[in-house]
Amino acid sequence: MSTTQIDRLRELLEPLAGERGMDLEEVRLTPAGKRRVLRVVVDTDEGVGLEACAELSRAASAALDAADVLGPTPYVLEVSSPGADRPLTEHRHYRRAAGRLIKAKLHDGGELTARVIGVDESGLDLEVPGVKGRRPTARRVEFDEIASARVEIEFSRKTDADTDSDTDTDTNGDESQKEA
């Protein structure tokens, strides 16, 4: 697989993704026995559903066959959305992570786990969770301070709605704790 082949694949696939409102995030061609696997990763601000991936896969397959970019060796085409914990490398990745918890390694050697509150052209506004019962704190981090970052997967995030539903008000206006 040459860089020029990946470039040609990108040139062919990028317009197909763009027509469907998707960003082409990654194109990777890897050997797999007697054939190759062409992995195409796409995303949108709202995320990418299964039907959208299937539609792009059909269009990409037809275009790849017509252009003969991959030559005579058989290939398997996989079109998917990025994983939840993929690295954040582009401005749009951070924008799409708004409201989510991220873990960032900083160029100064520090590490930071915080929730993305806002994103602008130069950096992030974050909410750093409080430790040992302390309140969260706000922090500003510029993009040039970040060496790498990933979204942290949260399985049981407590939302404002969850907090509000922890107490019930009875008919007398008294609050009582719900039993778990």
Q: Look at the domain 91-151 and name its fold.
A: SH3 type barrels. (2.30.30)
In whole angstroms, give the CA distance from residue 51 to residue 29.
23
Q: What is the mean pLDDT of the chain?
A: 86
pLDDT at residue 71, rounded to an integer = 86
| Average pLDDT score over residue span 130-140 | 91
In whole angstroms, give the CA distance from residue 63 to residue 43.
20
Give the least confident one: 8-12, 80-84, 153-157, 171-175.
171-175
Other CB atoms within a 10 A radius of the CB of residue 178 amount to 8
Question: pLDDT tens-digit profile of 13-69?
Answer: 999 999 999 999 999 999 998 899 999 999 998 889 999 999 999 999 999 999 988
| Average pLDDT score over residue span 58-82 | 93
Task: Compare 84 and 171 and report the one with higher pLDDT.
Answer: 84
pLDDT at residue 110, rounded to an integer = 95
- Which tokens hold the place of 46? 């709202």
For the chain, which residues make up each domain, given as ranges? 3-80, 91-151
The residue written with tokens 């970040």 in the block is: 146
pLDDT at residue 86, rounded to an integer = 84
Percent of the chain having pLDDT more than 90? 70
- Any bridge partners for residue 105, and if so which? 111, 148
Question: pLDDT tens-digit profile of 103-129?
Answer: 999 999 999 999 999 999 999 999 999
In whole angstroms, give the CA distance from residue 141 to residue 148.
12
In whole angstroms, give the CA distance from residue 131 to residue 38.
45
94 within 8 A of 43, measured Cβ to Cβ: no
Confidence of residue 159 (pLDDT cuts 50, 70, 90): low
Instruction: Give which of 100, 95, 99 is closest to 120, Cα–Cα.
Output: 95
Q: What is the pTM of this model?
A: 0.70
Report whether CATH 3.40.50.1000 matches the domain 3-80.
Answer: no
